[in-house]
Amino acid sequence: MTQSITALAQLAGAYGIATEFWDWQGRHAQVPDETVVAVLEALGVDVSGDFVDRELTRVQEREWHRLLPAVAVVARGASPVVPVHLTEQEPPTATLRTEDGHERSLGLRPGQEDREVGGRPVRRVLLDVPTDLPLGWHEVVVRAAGEQARMPLVVTPTRLELPAGLEADGARAWGLMTQLYAMRSAASWGIGDLADLGEAGAWAAGLGADFVLVNPLHAAEPVGEMEPSPYLPTSRRFVNPVYIRVEDVPEVAYLSAAERQLVEWHADDAQRYLALDSIERDPVWAAKQAALRLVFRQPRSLRRSRAFEAYVEREGQGLVDFATWCAIAQEHGTSWRQWPQELQDARGEAVEAYRQEHATEVEFHCWLQWVLDQQLARVQRDLLDTGMSLGVISDLAVGVHPDGADAWGLGDALARGVTVGAPADQYNQLGQDWSQPPWRPDKLAELGYAPYREMVRAALRDSGGLRVDHVIGLFRLWWIPQGAEPFQGTYVRYDHEAMIGILLLEAHRAGAVVVGEDLGTVEPWVRDYLRDRGVMGTSILWFERDWDGDGRLLDPEAYRELCLATVTTHDLPPTAGYLEGVHIDLRSRLGLLDRPLEVEQEEEERSRDEVLTDLRRRGLLGERGEVSEQVEALHAFLARTPAKLLGVSVSDLAGDTRVINQPGTDEEYPNWRVPLAGPDGRPVLLDELVTWRSARRIARAVAPDAR
């Protein structure tokens, strides 16, 4: 390679690409040039030949070629810095249009900066933007020398305040955490659905719970094999229709006797899978889709028709694109990169023609999303009516499937030729590749963060909170060049002020809390920043230690207040299984250990014994406590922390021991396909679980006043 290292490093820095970092063991690591070049190319930067210097000049002068920046995001009360670049001496005219339609003329701040750009003089002046702007999405319009530019100006909260019930000292809420697909009832069509979510929430509310945190409900493939991982969706903006409760769609009432019998036949066919010890998404969706197509063909009342039309209009082009992708996938498969060339461009004429030709199929997929929107809204409304203060807390995945609807419809807002993952850490020492295309920071800014905003809005709709998986990804993400090993990637930075600010703005408008999953390798200042902005962290009991000191267990009073504290998480076994060491045995069988089994078992046993000894010292556990008593004691420990939110896994309420997801595996283990089971390993239905005294005992442990 002929480029100078300094020039390449400068170019990488201009695009937020790390050329060095500190790993999980505190060691300094240098990023290979090959990785840096591959990531630059994924951002559309030509570094072939001797073009590094040219590209560096181009990026350094980029903003000087624009009349206005692409977007500005500022916290409320701060002074927005909005530069205007002029090639003429005539002063510009500038107008601020607030979200509610009001207009203000803007003047200029004193002073200017001059530079020669591309062989001509350019003058930079700053607009005098008021600091008392309301929260919202505003617009700055500038006219100069016959040119006009528009710029979104986003004013965000400085801090997301807690809901009224949580802001007082000592106030807290507890709730359930569940994988909805696995939490089935006798009325389920072989998989947990939104009606089951409502039933579980109503039961939990009766025990004093204030929320139900549910796995991502994002959309999956509409045909073929459905991706089992809720964290690898085809779209993060839309919802998987496998979660629809068919009988709750109002148009079912209009079915003829013969059609109703067909729906019942499909239901019976799907409910056969309740008896299996695995989640069978594909046959369940086949049965449910056939029934839903029958219902879709029924006439809708004028009121319902108007409501559907209003929904489609509100969701706009994003919904149409998603439904079009679903329609094309029905015919050509779910990998858009394998479609006919003319259909690979979501904005192309061929796609529009296909959409018109298959209008009924496109409408069907729009209708499915409308049904989901209504059923989700009903669940949230019902849970709040039961007395819950938060209701549903949704989960936002890190990214999307590279062949899916978002990767197709969002175009170059997502980077090509790279995937998202994680560097090596103590749990995955070779790193992780999640196979997801990342947001392009530069394109997000050019688009005024519109795709990100719409995704966040959708995730917060009909929710009292949002858990953001790998929230560190709003600061920097680990990009892995295509064909490279996970540890051969590097970090790419995002404008976290914009990403977090927009998240807080939409959460504020929804009246929701935000929980950031901040586990793993985290720059120390990031947790402080999130706390100051009002974003809750995540504390897992097993990992809460004094990592800056002697590594001892944290006392409960030393936990963070602004966090969701739990005993376990979906990447660990349920607590009973963790106590029995099932995860070590599983990792050994799958060949995932990098040390001898005996060494891993001894270390894990020593760690568990340390925790259990601490519980006994605090009087929370007897000397001969059984596993079920240990689970209760661990949750009682959480109740002594100041954490604002306490989460209890439904798997722990059931006494389940089986691993939900084993990181670092794909088909080696049935990740995301294990139904809720009891201590004996037998699948247990929600109808049974709500009668168990053992479940109530854990609820009382985490909230002593639970009913």
**Number of helical H runs and strand E runs in the chain:** 21, 24
**Do the beta carbons of residue 638 and residue 539 sit within 8 Å?**
no
Mean pLDDT of 596-608: 92
Is residue 16 classed exposed, middle or buried when 0-12, 13-18 and 19+ CB atoms within 10 A define those classes?
middle
- Does the pLDDT of residue 664 top 80, yes or no? no
Residue type (1 letter), 39: V
What's the pTM value of the predicted model, to 2 decimals?
A: 0.95
Q: For residue 531, which of 522, 544, 541 has the smallest C-alpha distance?
A: 522
> Which 3 state secondary structure label does DSSP give 107?
strand
Residue 623 CA to residue 635 CA, distance in Å, equals 17
State the pairing for strand pair 113-117/120-128.
antiparallel
DSSP H or E segment with residue 57? helix 52-61
Residue 2's pLDDT band, with cuts at 50, 70 and 90, is very low
Residue type (1 letter), 18: A
**Do the beta carbons of residue 401 and residue 227 sit within 8 Å?**
yes
Mean pLDDT of 94-112: 94
Length of the chain, in residues = 707
What pLDDT is stored for residue 82 in this prediction? 96
Residue 126 CA to residue 112 CA, distance in Å, equals 7
pLDDT in tens, 168-201: 888 999 999 999 999 999 999 999 999 999 999 9
What pLDDT is stored for residue 51 in this prediction? 83
What pLDDT is stored for residue 473 in this prediction? 95
List CB contacts of 533: < 8 A, sequence separation 6 or more: 158, 159, 160, 500, 504
SS3 content of the chain, % helix, strand, coil (to 5): 40, 20, 40
- Does the pLDDT of residue 676 top 90, yes or no? yes
Residue 666's pLDDT band, with cuts at 50, 70 and 90, is confident
**Do the beta carbons of residue 438 and residue 399 sit within 8 Å?**
yes
**Do the beta carbons of residue 531 and residue 560 sit within 8 Å?**
yes
Q: For residue 203, which of 361, 41, 25, 382 has the smallest C-alpha distance?
A: 382
Residue 550 CA to residue 137 CA, distance in Å, equals 47
Chain mean pLDDT for the chain:
94
What pLDDT is stored for residue 53 in this prediction? 86
List CB contacts of 605: < 8 A, sequence separation 6 or more: 581
- CATH code of 64-156, in short, is 2.60.40.10
User: Hunting for tokens 């935000």 — which residue is that?
Assistant: 514
Mean pLDDT of 36-45: 95
What pLDDT is stored for residue 1 in this prediction? 43
Phi then psi for residue 83, to 5 deg, are -80, 145
Residue 706 CA to residue 208 CA, distance in Å, equals 5
Least trusted range by pLDDT, from 70-84, 455-469, 524-538, 546-560:
546-560
User: Hunting for tokens 């100041």 — which residue is that?
Assistant: 642
Residue 300 CA to residue 411 CA, distance in Å, equals 35
Residue 365 CA to residue 222 CA, distance in Å, equals 9
What angle do helix axes 496-510 and 524-532 make, rounded to 10 degrees? 30
Q: How far is CA 107 from CA 84, 90, 99, 128, 191, in A?
A: 11, 13, 20, 5, 60
Q: How far is CA 373 from CA 15, 194, 217, 308, 554, in A?
A: 38, 11, 12, 10, 42
For 340, half-sphere exposure in the C-beta direction (CA atoms, 13 angstrom radius) is 9
User: Hunting for tokens 């003089």 — which residue is that?
Assistant: 121
Task: Name the token pair of 479.
Answer: 């990009």
More confident residue, 502 or 707: 502
Residue 560 CA to residue 641 CA, distance in Å, equals 8
**Do the beta carbons of residue 246 and residue 295 sit within 8 Å?**
yes
More confident residue, 523 or 230: 230
Residue 20 CA to residue 11 CA, distance in Å, equals 14
What pLDDT is stored for residue 547 in this prediction? 80
Residue 421's pLDDT band, with cuts at 50, 70 and 90, is very high
Residue 427's pLDDT band, with cuts at 50, 70 and 90, is low
**Do the beta carbons of residue 679 and residue 598 sit within 8 Å?**
no
Residue 643 CA to residue 557 CA, distance in Å, equals 9
What pLDDT is stored for residue 6 in this prediction? 80
Residue 318 CA to residue 235 CA, distance in Å, equals 10
pLDDT in tens, 318-353: 999 999 999 999 999 999 999 999 999 999 999 999
Percent residues over pLDDT 90 in the chain = 87
Domain limits of the chain? 5-62, 64-156
DSSP string, 647-668: EEEHHHHHT--S-S--TT-STT
For 136, half-sphere exposure in the C-beta direction (CA atoms, 13 angstrom radius) is 13
Least trusted range by pLDDT, from 243-247, 313-317, 347-351, 546-550:
546-550
Phi then psi for residue 396, to 5 deg, are -110, 120
- Does the pLDDT of residue 496 top 80, yes or no? yes
Q: How far is CA 404 from CA 234, 324, 334, 434, 454, in A?
A: 4, 12, 7, 14, 17
List CB contacts of 262: < 8 A, sequence separation 6 or more: 290, 291, 294
